[in-house]
Amino acid sequence: MTRRDRTTGLPGAQRGRRAAARAGEGDRFSAQRLARFGIIGVAVTALLVVVALLAYNWYDSSIAQPGKTVLRVGEEEFSLSYYAARLPEFARAEGATSGLLLTDALLGKLEEEGLVLTAAAERGIVLSDDDVTAAIAVWLGVPLDTSRGSLFDNRYRDELRNSGLSDSHYREQTRAREAETRLRESLREEIGET
């Protein structure tokens, strides 16, 4: 008991103030606890929103619309899945190009391929599956032997693994490349060597 408490003779008032102070501290702690729960709740909600957006983005690009046409040149159509499959390989080939310029450059490249395929078809240059397979063998530098376990088979599987393309996407790319080669040869024969 302090001197002041002894001289005033009002010990009850002191106890009341101390109890009120303790009660105020309890209110302050519960307010801080409530604020902490609020902050944690907002952080968890924000995290869930980010996860939901990432999941939707993956769903939209992988499941919902991979067959959607992103480019049409004449009769040739290029799907979103083909475009997305070609993008990493194209980015490696182009080097240090920014993202937006890279995607536009790939669209330009696909447009050129579409024009080549259309022009080749108009000139009667039609490539069968066997022609595409032969072009793949020439591109890989191996003899054409499509039997399982052959040198062609092993090199082709390695090429698919390294490029990240599926068989159909790789064959589509090779078809465009071979059509361009045959179209150039046809034009050289028609015009003649200069």
pLDDT tens figures, 127-154: 888 999 999 999 888 888 777 878 888 8
Provide the pLDDT confidence category of residue 180 given band limits of 50, 70 and 90: very high
Q: Which amino acid is at 108?
A: G
pLDDT tens per residue across span 46-81: 999 999 888 888 777 666 666 677 778 877 888 888
Please name the helix (run of DSSP H) or strand (run of DSSP E) that holds residue 53, with its range, or none. helix 11-59
How many Å is the Cα radius of gyration of the chain?
A: 35
Rounded distance between C-alpha atoms, residue 52 and residue 18, angstroms: 51
pTM of the predicted model as reported, rounded to 2 decimal places = 0.59
How many angstroms from the chain centroid is the CA of residue 1?
74
3-class DSSP assignment, residue 78:
strand
For 95, counting Cβ atoms within 10 Å of its Cβ (0-12 exposed, 13-18 middle, 19+ buried), the class is exposed
Rounded distance between C-alpha atoms, residue 31 and residue 40, angstroms: 14
